[in-house]
Amino acid sequence: MLVFVFDLLPRIIVADGTSNSRTIVNALSMDSSIKIIATPKTALETLSRVIRLKPDVLVISTNLSDMDIDKLISRIMNKEPVSILVLKETDDVKFYGSDYGFGLVDNLSVGFKSSTIGVSGVAITTRIHILAKVNVQKFKSKIKKAKRAEKPSLRSRLGFTPKQKSEIKTNPDRNRNKRLMAKTNYRKKLCVIGASTGGPNMITTLVQALPNKFPPVIIIQHMPDGFISSFTKRLNRMSEIEVRQAENGQIIEQNTVYVCPGGLHLEVTKEVGELPRISLFKGELVNFVRPAVDLTLKSAAKVYGANLIGVILTGMGSDGKEGAKEVQKIGGKMIALNKEDSTIYGMNKAVIEAGFADIVLPEDKIISGIISYL
């Protein structure tokens, strides 16, 4: 006898203040593996329903007009953090909820016209299923830490002058890594980091811990192109070494982090007698994504050989597995994030289960693990 346990289906709230609400619901109803539990029409009603019903995913349209979308997202995260998918017009280049990284909040351009949606219902439900797997508890702890950090200290409430930037201690992890790097021959090395859902927050933490003498780092993060520029600028402000958005033809230099633009693949190339360079191109989707970690790792393995270190973090799918295989084949090293610290245990799981990870580490040991291999 078959028993269907409907409570195991992802529970979805769909919020839209216009007639498009029915269009969105109809599109989602084509997928019987999700369960729509509420369809609020206003931002305040949405907030109330999220707190009371605790859905797995909240789908909100930018057509909600009674509150700024970013403000609504912030209020929801402070009350009851939840994975959120924002549906917006195709010409809307803003990334809503950017404070929570590409992981807990996702954006999808749909284009509402004449009660139709400009993308397939499958595109929306695919994003919903990914978001439903996000480890929200992990984000909750980070949000709580951020809220505690935002509270004014007793000294500031009593009127004491805050310390100048030059007086504030630097990241202790960065200081420790400086000492480790002092005895390390890091030249002619390269590190490639790959991530998807949940990656931006983790990458931010890792980049903050980098010492000012380090081999070049290439970051392949699955995220929309419109979000890469602001993400890169934020990383650069927090890092002792330079963080740039990768450009076609760039020479790969020491003490520099290169972030791959969205919508383009990145390969490492080297002509005889020249320094390694970055090659960006459109190309076909690989592992259903662009950029693909696999392409970057495979090309870098050909150029750097045993001097390549690959890192696979959190994310949906298996992108990075075949590249990790090539890195190991030429004598390079592969590091994978552990399950416990993963927002989604997917990309790293694929590498670990295939036997292509030389070591599995928690988030706070990744940088020291890279240095140990250097």
89 and 220 share a domain? no
Active-site residue (options: 83, 196, 239, 318): 196
* pLDDT number for residue 126: 86
298 is a domain residue = yes
Q: What does the pLDDT look like over 101-143, one tens digit per residue?
A: 657 888 888 877 766 777 777 888 888 988 888 878 777 766 6
pTM across the whole model: 0.72
Q: What does the pLDDT look like over 304-332, one tens digit per residue?
A: 999 999 999 998 889 999 999 999 999 99
Structural domain harbouring 96: 6-136
Phi, psi (deg, nearest 5) at residue 88: -140, 170
265 catalytically annotated: no
* pLDDT number for residue 176: 60
222 catalytically annotated: yes
Ramachandran area for residue 306 (φ above 0: left; ψ -120 to 50: alpha; else beta): alpha
182 and 320 share a domain? yes
d(C-alpha 135, C-alpha 314), whole Å = 11
d(C-alpha 181, C-alpha 173), whole Å = 12
Phi, psi (deg, nearest 5) at residue 25: -60, -45
163 is a domain residue = no
* pLDDT number for residue 101: 60
Active-site residue (options: 31, 56, 98, 222): 222
End position of a domain, from candidates 118, 136, 154: 136
86 and 181 share a domain? no
Nearest 5°: the CA angle 39, 130, 77 is 60
Listed as ranges, residues in the chain with pLDDT below 50 are 1-6, 149-169
Active-site residue (options: 56, 106, 294, 319): 319
Distances (CA, A) of 299 to 293, 328, 365: 10, 13, 26
216 and 360 share a domain? yes
350 and 210 share a domain? yes
> What CATH number corresponds to the domain at position 96?
3.40.50.2300
Mutual angle of helices 20-29 and 121-132, in 10-degree steps? 70
Structure letter (DSSP) for residue 323: H
Structure letter (DSSP) for residue 248: T
d(C-alpha 60, C-alpha 30), whole Å = 18
Which residues make Cβ contacts (< 8 Å) with residue 173, sequence separation at least 6?
Answer: 208, 209, 364, 367
Closest CA to 277 of 245, 300, 243, 311: 300
319 catalytically annotated: yes
* pLDDT number for residue 165: 34
The answer to whether 257 and 285 have CB atoms below 8 angstroms apart is no
178 and 322 share a domain? yes
23 and 78 share a domain? yes
Which residues make Cβ contacts (< 8 Å) with residue 112, sequence separation at least 6?
Answer: 18, 20, 23, 61, 63, 89, 118
Closest CA to 87 of 104, 107, 115, 114: 107
220 and 362 share a domain? yes
* pLDDT number for residue 363: 92
Neighbours of 23 (CB within 10 A): 19
